[in-house]
A = this chain, B = another copy of it.
């Protein structure tokens, strides 16, 4: 019936999750989906993220080739982040996930954190 296998190492859904499963990655990708943003604007746009976690998340997404960092020479100077092509291609799967959660919000509502 199914022609995929279910060993973790080979499970492709798991490789996708390696990119986006942590607390902040999808949120950052969402935020950058609107267009390039400076570090400080990102922090404002995203509620409650510490500088540590924002930097850490951006660095990881950079290594994965999902975002790109570039320094701005224009005043006021700063740093801008944007999605790469790979990053933009992530928006669709993430939105499918989001739609699923919205459609099943009630079923998911009642359960304890973990």
Residue ranges of A at the interface with B (Cβ–Cβ < 8 Å): 1-2, 4, 6-9, 11-17, 19-24, 26-27, 30-31, 33-35, 45-49, 60, 63-65, 86, 89-90, 92-105, 107-108, 111-112, 114
Which chain B residue shows the least CB distance to A64?
B111
How far, in whole Å, are A27 and B30 apart by their CA atoms in the complex? Answer: 25
Q: Within the complex, what minimum Cβ distance (angstroms) separates A29 from chain B?
A: 9
Q: Within the complex, what minimum Cβ distance (angstroms) separates A23 from chain B?
A: 7
Which chain B residue shows the least CB distance to A56?
B114
Chain B residue contacts of A100, Cβ below 8 A: 16, 89-90, 92-93
Chain B residue contacts of A7, Cβ below 8 A: 27, 46-48
Q: Does A20 contact B17, Cβ atoms closer than 8 Å? A: yes
Q: Does A96 contact B98, Cβ atoms closer than 8 Å? A: no
Q: What are 10 sample pairs from A and B whose C-beta atoms fall under 8 A apart?
A: A6-B46, A11-B26, A12-B99, A13-B27, A13-B97, A14-B27, A16-B97, A63-B111, A64-B111, A65-B108
